Amino acid sequence: MSLFVASLASGSNGNCYYIANEREAVLIDAGISCREVEKRMKRLGLSMQKLKAVFISHEHTDHIKGLAILARKYSLPVYVTTSTARSGRLIMGNRFSFRSEETIIVGDLQITAFSKNHDAADPCSFVIACNGIKAGVFTDIGVPCAQVIRYFNQCHAVFLETNYDEEMLEKGNYPFYLKKRICSDKGHLSNNQALDLFKTHRPSFMSHLFLSHLSKNNNCPKLVSELFNTHAKGVKIILASRYCETEVYAVNGLAGARKDYYLKVPRQMEFSFA
């Protein structure tokens, strides 16, 4: 059985990641509006009725902006840590708490959360598994700590933060305090940090890598794509856009990356922004 994965949105203007098997699906974060989730899933030929839960990584607006309406409209359970819910003022009747290293079962999907470094109340990343196939959502990570490395090494597919190019951030017009926050141990991963993690710790069975959460002002999609493709060695490198959804990819644990062409393919905008 495959996992089917796609980015619906990835960036400081909104984050939302789709992971499914044949019967059920979950979203990691809901940082775009309910209407945009519906539109993007429809373009991909995906059913909203297949969604069974939403998992929240942390309380920043670009991860929860569309959550309340989406959860209410589709009666979706929301899984979020107590501290994140409190900090984000997430008050809803269908909210369920979890702790780091706890595994939540949603149909045949197993979702495991683990703590990460970021400037939020109780930030988590997630690994979603089904029949031995694993996909990870690793964004908003200040540093590739031991936890990140351990789970990265288990995954067949990963949404990995490549937030900024170090030279572009240094020479850019952001104020000093913001530059310091971005490159701190509780900020975001640079292209080079993510590349080092990929080169050093990727498992031999990894088939898909989604370059995620790119900065609009401090990164270049073409630059980071070329950087990772140089070291891909058979791994499919996909750019997760801040403006539109990716295609849906089937992750089946077999050698080489395969795309399901029967799924509706959206127009490509991967290199349309700076």
Domain ranges for the chain, please list them.
3-259
- What's the number of CA atoms in the CB half-sphere (13 Å) around residue 65? 17
Cα separation, 4 vs 41, in Å, equals: 13
DSSP per-residue codes, 160-179: EE--B-HHHHHHSSS-HHHH
Residue 163 clears pLDDT 80, i.e. is over it: yes
pTM of the model: 0.92
Cα separation, 84 vs 89, in Å, equals: 8
Burial 165-194 (b: 16+ CB within 10 A, else e): beebbeeeebeeeebeebbeeebbbbbebb
Q: pLDDT value at position 93?
A: 85
Decide: helix, strand or coil at residue 3. Answer: strand
Average of per-residue pLDDT across 74-91: 95
pLDDT band at 212 (very low <50, low <70, confident <90, very high): very high
Average of per-residue pLDDT across 37-50: 98
CATH topology assigned to domain 3-259? Metallo-beta-lactamase; Chain A (3.60.15)
Average of per-residue pLDDT across 102-130: 96
Residue-wise pLDDT tens digits, 237-256: 999 999 999 999 999 987 44
Whole-number percent of the chain with pLDDT over 90: 90
Average of per-residue pLDDT across 197-206: 98
Q: pLDDT value at position 253?
A: 83
Cα separation, 70 vs 263, in Å, equals: 23
